[in-house]
Amino acid sequence: MPRRSVVVHPGFAARLKELREQRGVSLRRLGKEIHCSHGFLWDLEAGKKQPSMSVTALLDAALGGGGVLSGMVQEVSADSGGQLVGRDSGADPAGLGLEFAPDWRHGIAVAVELWQGDMQRRKLLRAAGFSATAFVAPAMRWLVLPMDEQPTGDGERPIGGPDIEIIKRITATYRTLDNQFGGGHIRDSVVRFLDGDVASMLRGRYDEKTGRGLLGAAAETTQLAGWASYDLGMHGLAQRYMIQALRLAAGAGDRALGAEILAAMSHQAAYLGASTDAVDLARAAGRVAAEVGVKAIQAESAVLEAHGHASGGNEALCAKALDRAERAFDKAGQTDAPQWIGYFDESYLAAKFGHCFAALGRGDLARRFAERSLDMDGRHYARGKQFNLALLATAHVQAGDPERASVVGMQAVDAAEGLDSMRARDYLGDLANRLGKHVGLPAVREFIDRARPMLGGV
């Protein structure tokens, strides 16, 4: 099994010391800022130790390196004989897509390699594990990376506005289908579109303005592939798509889209129980959203931060974040919100409030917001409605009404028909487990019998 390692540019130690001295920061103070010992930092400047990818990103952020230090550290793999192997060799397919590239050209290469690897080595990539900490370095690099890249293509095929519009329209169509039928119905088609049409356009000829639009469109499609993978329970693969979507958004100079992708990362981290990382990612998203002045994303980021706090059991911080979410949402207008955040409305916000209170075990409050969340477009957002029904049923269990929970649970089972979504099945499975101790009740038995075929046994 190849082991992960890093290759550090020979000039890293000197550059680190130069940046630190320019800032007038002592090793001890810098260590406190990035939570490392000053002795370790001394060894880095002396070239006696090597930094990890995450530590390098933290150093960039603390010293205002603008990604310079991160660009001097490359993640590679080593085979059983200790020989370093690059990503192009295909020796470590499970590591594809974890790198946040130092420049936009490298970013395109890594993204295209991920798409190709997904098509050609699907089983290995689907088995890739998820680690919330793998989001840390990309998020930090996004925050410190100057948005002044000038993406231009020198290929043979001329690319223009109509090509970008094609990507956007096809992505919007797939996004609609994802909301209606679940990620399993669209994921493979989206990846095929990326690996074929989008990759071909990225290799074309275009000026800077077109290049920014092209990378932005590619970022949206890549994020959708990640979201669909997440919905199917392919969490390690989804993580890689999210990271590459963030890098493409950086190349496009699209801060708002980057904030939305950071929010999606937080969503996945909270779902998988990584509460601390979910909070950090949501705060990063909120910071960027505030910079670009998009209140809808600020509200989304705040409620995702609240969910992270709730998952970690911190009711006080959850309440503060929910208050910020509500105030930001009240100021949000549809005119200043990007088209791709059209899903974020009062029903979505109510559902997220409900999830927060459910995570805190407050079924009485969760029930109130879950009921509000059902005032939604259940046809275009069929998956979301199934989630909200499952949330309401869970709230009834927490509030001490298992019979009512079973009745609503049956509606959630009906709503799951036709969906290809692991999250939909997970919510039903969690509900079945909660109701298990009440199996003596006829309504509960009926729900469990009805849900069993969909869950493959309860």
Does residue 356 fall inside a structural domain?
Answer: no
Does residue 264 fall inside a structural domain?
Answer: no
> Between 157 and 342, whose confidence is greater?
157
| Kind and range of the H or E run holding 84 | strand 84-85
Q: Which residues contact 455 (CB under 8 A, 6 or more apart)?
A: 425, 428, 429, 432
Does residue 263 fall inside a structural domain?
Answer: no
Same domain flag for 444 and 372: yes
DSSP 398-433: HTT-HHHHHHHHHHHHHHHTT---HHHHHHHHHHHH
200/123 Cα distance (integer angstroms): 25
pLDDT in tens, 257-294: 999 999 999 999 999 999 999 999 999 999 999 999 99
Does residue 259 fall inside a structural domain?
Answer: no
Tell me the two tokens of residue 263.
């929010």
| pLDDT of amino acid 130 | 87
Bridge partners of 205? Answer: 154, 158
Q: Where does a domain end: 66, 91, 116?
A: 91
- Residue 373 Ramachandran class (φ > 0 left, ψ -120 to 50 alpha, else beta): alpha
90/138 Cα distance (integer angstroms): 22
| pLDDT of amino acid 79 | 42
Same domain flag for 144 and 234: yes
Same domain flag for 234 and 127: yes
Residue 245, pLDDT > 90, answer yes
Considering the entire predicted model, what is its pTM? 0.80
Same domain flag for 10 and 123: no
Report yes or no: 302 and 286 within 8 Å, Cβ to Cβ.
yes
Q: What are phi and psi of 65, to 5 degrees?
A: -70, -15
Same domain flag for 199 and 157: yes
Same domain flag for 172 and 303: no
Residue 85, pLDDT > 70, answer no
Same domain flag for 113 and 241: yes
Q: Is 70 exposed, middle or buried (0-12, 13-18, 19+ CB in 10 A)?
A: buried
Same domain flag for 307 and 339: yes
Same domain flag for 105 and 247: yes
| pLDDT of amino acid 124 | 67
Q: Where does a domain end: 344, 374, 398?
A: 344
Domain that holds residue 299: 270-344
Number of domains within the chain: 4
pLDDT in tens, 311-330: 999 999 999 999 999 999 99
Q: Where does a domain end: 62, 91, 120?
A: 91
Same domain flag for 233 and 333: no
Q: How confident is the model at residue 6 (pLDDT cuts 50, 70, 90)?
A: low
